[in-house]
Amino acid sequence: MDALQDQFAIRVRDLVVGFGRQTVLDHLSLDVRRGEILGLVGASGGGKSVLMRTIIGLIPRRSGTIEVMGQPTGGHGRGAATIWGILFQQGALFSSLTVRQNVQFPLRENLVLSQELMDEIAIAKLEMVGLRAQDADKYPSELSGGMTKRVALARALALDPPILFLDEPTSGLDPIAAGDFDALIKTLQKTLGLTVFMVTHDLASLTTVCDRVAALADGKIVAIGPMRELLQSEHPWVRAYFHGKRSQMLQHEMR
């Protein structure tokens, strides 16, 4: 692996993805640096979830290349679960499994471990995301929204992957719970050296936890950099997004 490759956790080049006549991603290129938290913004229906799902191999691409940790995607085979953890936008947990069983699910799928060891790992992961051992026997229907996100995060991190994909992790949470979740992501990035790819509309998340922000418009990344650079962007969509009436109001209140 050469030094340049080593710098990036994810490299996307000239990616084209579509469904029928619709082209969603149109020659999109994007680099995610190792160890950074990259925030992705874009219009609703613009292709953020499609990009994430294409990188992890759930949606086929028409053309272009994707490398994750220096290897083309598809090259990881069943080992992929040890490379990335995922928090999907919708429906995070298996409702018929307890919290403990949800967190153990990737372990069962990928490793052969004693029940005792799996129980230890599950408790350790729950504590890592700020939950208690007593929560392990609850079912998803017995959890708050914030707890559900944390359990999903514990499950995503069960196999200690170096990359974490988050699709709107704070949507549906109140501002305090969202702030706590953001702080948790930042702590995990620092302590575990995680690379985090985060789709979010949350201006507070973009400002406080993201090292860089990428903007997706017209099927491409039209701006990328630290939030203060994005705020200077001349791109019409990026300007409208960050300087439109609604976000002005929010930014005013954040001051």
50 binds, among ligand ATP, Mg ion, none (CB under 5 to 8 A by kind): ligand ATP
19 binds, among ligand ATP, Mg ion, none (CB under 5 to 8 A by kind): ligand ATP
- Phi and psi at 83, nearest 5°, equal -95, -40
Q: Write the single-letter amino acid at 121.
A: I
29 binds, among ligand ATP, Mg ion, none (CB under 5 to 8 A by kind): none
In this chain, which of 2, 3, 4, 44 binds ligand ATP, going by CB under 6 A? 44
Neighbour tally for 167: CB within 10 Å: 20
Residue 17 or 69: the one with the smaller Cβ distance to ligand ATP is 17
Q: Give strand ranges (E) for the chain.
A: 8-19, 22-33, 37-42, 63-68, 71-72, 84-87, 163-167, 195-199, 212-217, 220-225
Residue 159 or 213: the one with the smaller Cβ distance to Mg ion is 213
Is 217 a binding residue for ligand ATP by CB under 6 A? The answer is: no
Is 141 a binding residue for ligand ATP by CB under 6 A? The answer is: no
Among the residue ranges 41-49, 68-76, 150-158, 231-239, the one whose residues contact ligand ATP (CB under 6 A)? 41-49
Residue 47 or 140: the one with the smaller Cβ distance to Mg ion is 47
Q: Write the single-letter amino acid at 95.
A: S
Kindly list the distances between the CA atom of residue 118 and the CA atoms of 70, 102, 140, 188, 231, in Å, as whole numbers in the listed order: 30, 11, 19, 21, 46
SS3 9: strand
In this chain, which of 37, 49, 164, 196 binds ligand ATP, going by CB under 6 A? 49
The Cα–Cα gap between 205 and 192 comes to 19
| Residues within the interface to ligand ATP (CB under 6 A) | 19, 24, 42, 44-50, 89
